[in-house]
Amino acid sequence: MERRIRSGMGQTGTAAMTVLLSACILLAAADEFGGDWQYRLQRQICAGAEEMYVPVLAWADRKPSAGIGAWLKEKALAWIPLVSYVEDHAYQDAALEDEETLAKILEAQANDENMVDENGNLVGEPDEQAAVADEPVQTVDTSIGKLRDFEYLLGNFYTVDSSTMIGADQLNADDLLGRSMKIDTASDGPKVLIYHTHSQEMFADSTSGDPADSIVGVGEYLTQLLNARGIETIHDTGVYDIINGKLDRSNAYEYAGEAVSRILEENPSIEVLIDLHRDGVAEGTRLVTEINGKPTAKIMFFNGLSRSRTNGDISYLANPYIQDNLAFSLQMQIAAEEKYPGFTRHIYLRAYRYNMHLMPKSLLVEAGAQTNTVEEMMNAMEVLSEMLYDVLVGE
């Protein structure tokens, strides 16, 4: 019957019904206060809605009992799905922001950075920054005058996930570009640690089960390239996303963080952490450009802000190095933009911290995607190693 009522109305009738039902919802929500005033006011406002549009609400002709509020709310939400959607998501957000459910946040953090496989929310959705090799490259003005404009900086260099928020106080170009990312090349010991929270990520032409064709193999090549440039680098090939022989990312960031902390204790000379991933995109998307005549996977820097749009700073996922993290990714982004425009996608900002609290110079790199070839990924590491040298060592 509800379908027949809706389909028989014109636009004006539908709008009127929406307004009247909204009033009824507000009254129903107030029924916990009781009182005859509620009954009289409800009858005056809702009578028109009952008689003109929704005869089924005749049930409300009776004086409200303990259950009328719930009944009205349920019926109204059935006719206004958007209200139901907002309510459901508000409840979920509140649950995730409760400090007592930290485990749920950590599990969400473990999955939402990568859009493929286990993250059902975004699997198969097109990537708005996707590109093909013959797509024209648009250069971006990286002059400090432009970068001081918050809206310009945000619009040309960042994508802010709906889960979080950022302001001009954090994206201050003078501050971010004024922080030195240079490493101490005069002292002995490794300076860079490369690791993989998600070690099982593969590519379009990877050989199943062969680590050399996985993100770990790509990380090994980047390690070799940096060492060849004089930046002493070590590679952690630990596996943090396999539990009992099965892919399980629910605690991957926690396990990786524990392992990386131990490595840092054993190697106090390390100044740079790089968590190397590959992204997940729709199967028809190709994140590839051409650099030095080679097909090259595009990369994306990823920052966690430890801040929820719903409740603000996530104090129990604190990161004292957020500004340094942001400075590192922006300086890398600008170096790439000036030398190889089109190589990087926008820096992606999300709510959690992704172990970036372990060191000021921390990068989370999304290199290519599952639709890229191993060759395209290896070519991307050659460019990335050059950018790292420029930012960490170069003049």
Q: What are phi and psi of 302, to 5 degrees?
A: -135, 125
Per-residue pLDDT at 68: 54
Q: Please list, in sequence order, all residues whose beta carbon lies within 8 angstroms of the beta carbon of residue 181, skipping any fewer than 6 positions away.
A: 327, 328, 331, 361, 391, 392
More confident residue, 45 or 168: 168
Range among 76-90, 102-116, 203-217 rated most confident: 203-217
Separation CA 370–CA 285 (nearest Å)? 10
Residue 215 contacts residue 252 (beta carbons within 8 Å): no
Within a 10 A sphere around the Cβ of 140, how many other Cβ atoms?
16
Helix count and strand count (H, E) for the chain: 13, 13
Mean residue pLDDT across the chain: 77
More confident residue, 79 or 252: 252
- What are the pLDDT digits (tens) for 288-320? 999 999 999 999 999 999 999 988 999 889 999
Within a 10 A sphere around the Cβ of 376, how many other Cβ atoms?
25
- What are the pLDDT digits (tens) for 267-293? 999 999 999 999 999 989 999 999 999
Per-residue pLDDT at 22: 52
Tokens of 24: 């009824």
Tokens of 169: 């106080």
More confident residue, 85 or 357: 357
- What are the pLDDT digits (tens) for 364-392? 999 999 999 999 999 999 999 999 999 99
Confidence of residue 6 (pLDDT cuts 50, 70, 90): very low
Confidence of residue 250 (pLDDT cuts 50, 70, 90): confident
Separation CA 339–CA 387 (nearest Å)? 9
Per-residue pLDDT at 240: 94
Q: What proportion of the chain, given as a percentage, has pLDDT over 90?
A: 60
Separation CA 127–CA 287 (nearest Å)? 9
Per-residue pLDDT at 78: 38
Tokens 């840092």 label which residue? Answer: 264
Separation CA 294–CA 211 (nearest Å)? 23
